């Protein structure tokens, strides 16, 4: 039995199926050596099986469309039904707004060797930036001696290389050699 890779991606990002990757909105992704760090998650880059830019799909909320039509009919009748019409109209409008927002989102799928359940989709509105991040991660995955530190800022849409010169009172995740005075203080 062969599996179409596109079917797997559809299952991961919202198609019909039981397995799904974690959806995550984050402002900052850090790459330290062969380690990818975001929010409360740390991935070893060698355990990443694939990276892909995906667009989210959403089905039209037909119940919301019917709600809008029902609202228009109730508003034309007037009376006490106006209050019911406003409630139904507000719910329908919110549902259609969420549908529209979902269609405008893209994601960076980080598929791990451990499977779909362990994988993550980082959500963003900027498809070109997601593709740029994907290429950066591709370069790092194929670089045997990568020991740079890179910050990827999704809110500012920037990828910048960081020089770590001094660290105090923080946990350091290093992919290479730590040089300088390293002091561990317990207060």
Q: Give the start-end residues of each E strand in 25-105.
A: 28-32, 35-38, 41-44, 48-55
Confidence grade of residue 20 (pLDDT, cut at 50, 70, 90): confident
Q: What pLDDT shows up at residue 164?
A: 65
Radius of gyration of the chain (CA): 23
Mean pLDDT, rounded, for 83-112: 83
Residue with tokens 């037909």: 62
Judged against a pLDDT cut of 70, whether residue 95 lies above it is answered with yes
What secondary structure, in 3-state letters, does 37-48 show? EECCEEEEHHHE
Residue 170, pLDDT score:
58
CA distance 181 to 183: 6
Residue with the bigger pLDDT between 147 and 27: it is: 27
Strand order in the sheet with 48-55: 22-24, 115-124, 106-112, 48-55
Q: Mean pLDDT, to the nearest integer, of 157-176? A: 67
Q: What is the pLDDT of residue 172?
A: 56
With a cut of 60, say whether residue 79 has pLDDT above it. Answer: yes
Q: Report the C-alpha gap between 131 and 106 in whole angstroms.
A: 10
Mean pLDDT of 141-148: 76
- Between helices 81-103 and 62-77, what is the axis angle to 10°? 150
Mean pLDDT of 100-124: 80
- pLDDT of 175 strictly over 60: no
Average pLDDT over residues 177-186: 56
| pLDDT higher than 50, residue 182 | yes
Q: For 38-56, what is each residue's pLDDT tens digit? A: 888 888 888 888 888 887 7
Closest CA to 130 of 141, 121, 143: 121
């Amino acid at each position: 039995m062969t599996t179409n890779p596109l079917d797997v991606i559809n299952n991961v990002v919202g198609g019909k199926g039981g397995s799904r990757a974690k959806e995550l909105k984050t402002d900052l992704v850090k790459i330290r050596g062969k380690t990818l760090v975001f929010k409360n998650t740390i991935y070893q880059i060698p355990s990443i099986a694939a990276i892909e830019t995906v667009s989210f799909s959403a089905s039209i909320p037909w119940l919301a469309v019917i709600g809008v039509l029902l609202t228009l009919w109730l508003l034309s009748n007037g009376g006490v039904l106006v209050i019911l019409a406003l409630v139904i109209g507000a719910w329908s409008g919110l549902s259609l707004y969420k549908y529209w927002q979902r269609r405008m989102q893209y994601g960076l799928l980080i598929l791990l060797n451990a499977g779909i359940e362990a994988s993550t989709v980082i959500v963003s509105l900027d498809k070109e930036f997601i593709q740029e991040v994907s290429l950066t991660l591709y370069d790092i995955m194929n670089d045997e001696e990568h020991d740079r530190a890179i910050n990827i800022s999704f809110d500012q849409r920037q990828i910048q290389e960081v020089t770590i010169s001094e660290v105090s009172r923080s946990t350091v995740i290093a992919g290479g050699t730590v040089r300088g005075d390293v002091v561990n203080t317990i207060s």
